[in-house]
Chains A and B, each alone.
Chain A
Amino acid sequence: MSTLIELGGYGRYVWPAYGLTLALMLAEPWLARRRLARALARARTLEALDR
């Protein structure tokens, strides 16, 4: 396991590269889903006002 983390001394370059990528690729879908949920909530409010 330590071999995988150290990666022959290059772990300090490789893991931050994958770490930021993972963080961004988790955050972006969450933001997109939140935007969709808010848009649907607003549409529901408009629909309720129309009735």
Chain B
Amino acid sequence: MNTVALRPPWRLFSLSAPAHFYRATEAVSPLLWATCLVLAAVGLWMGFVVAPTDATQGEAYRIIFIHVPAAWLSMVLYLAMAFWAVLGWAWKVRMASMLARAIAPTGALFTVVALWTGALWGKPTWGTYWVWDARLTSELILLFLYLGYLALVESIDEPRRGDQAGALLALVGAINVPVIYFSVKWWNTLHQGATVSMNAAPKMAGTMLTAMLLMTLACWAYAFAVVFARARAIAVEREAEHQWVAALTRPMEKSA
């Protein structure tokens, strides 16, 4: 059997082939994990040591350094999942559908983190862990959409049919993302407005904002690393009998 030749990395479209995707993402994985750890360490140090105590919320506000990045990632990952799912459905791009499936658990994780940290932040500031306000409820619906997508694609034995059904659900559910984002504008909610706005000055101290943005970048690096790892696993599962997977297993046998 022939081994797969690597194409130059700048040819991004070559990544739609599972063999190239596998090798490219495996190569960048250590860099992503290192980036995640360094940014998280610096972000937490800034958030807990450098950033001052908030005048109104006291130390409770420090939950923001994980709550806001998790909430942002939960929404962006859903849109990414829907994008790749639809791309795989409409153009039959194998790797796109696998990527959509790989994103879903990580998106669900960040949604759980956003809800959990939000509840723990809500208790000392609002006096309650949960209220059925528009922002919280729409974020909870996002979690159900992730779980529904995962349940749907895993319940269908034939992967391509599962991908198609999942793509439809992901596409319909995408309408919930702008609802989450604009809920604090459209409805009178208990949740505060946007933490960072493109057309207004930051409402927080510079060190607080820097720490939050560093933690967001750390979460991004984490998401890329773990989604790529899961996508590689899905690619190997689906294409176990392909030559490129057989070529992958040979060096492991020699070293064992």
Interface residues of A (CB under 8 A from B): 4, 7-11, 13-14, 16-18, 20-21, 24-25, 28-29, 32-33, 35-36, 38-40, 42-44, 46-47, 50
Contacts and interface: CB of A to CB of B under 8 A. Distances in A.
B220 interface: no
A16 B120 contact: yes
Contact of A46 (B70, B112, B241): B241
Contacts of A33: 229
B245 interface: yes
Interface of B: 48, 53, 58-60, 62-63, 66-67, 70, 105-106, 109, 112-113, 116-117, 120-121, 123-124, 222, 225-226, 229-230, 232-234, 236-237, 240-241, 245-246, 248-250, 252-253
B248 A43 contact: yes
A44 B226 contact: no
A4 to B, nearest CB: 7
A18 B120 CA distance: 10
B66 A28 contact: no
Instruction: Please name the 3 residue pairs, one residue from A and one from B, whose CB atoms are nearest each other, closest first.
Output: A36-B233, A39-B236, A7-B59
A38 B175 CA distance: 36
29 contacts: A7-B59, A8-B53, A10-B60, A10-B62, A11-B59, A13-B60, A13-B63, A13-B121, A13-B123, A13-B124, A14-B62, A14-B63, A17-B120, A20-B113, A21-B116, A24-B109, A25-B222, A28-B109, A32-B229, A32-B230, A35-B233, A36-B233, A36-B236, A40-B248, A40-B252, A43-B240, A43-B249, A44-B252, A44-B253
A20 B111 CA distance: 13
Of the listed residues A4, A11, A17, the one surrounded by the most CB atoms of chain B closer than 10 A to its CB is A17
B222 A40 contact: no
A10 B252 CA distance: 50
Contact of A47 (B106, B232, B249): B249
Contact of A39 (B60, B66, B237): B237
B220 to A, nearest CB: 13
A36 B60 CA distance: 39
Nearest to B225: A29
Contacts of A18: 66
B105 A28 contact: yes
A11 to B, nearest CB: 8
B206 to A, nearest CB: 21
A3 to B, nearest CB: 9
B249 A39 contact: no
Contacts of A4: 48
A22 to B, nearest CB: 9
A28 B226 contact: yes
A33 B230 CA distance: 7
Contacts of B60: 7, 10, 13-14
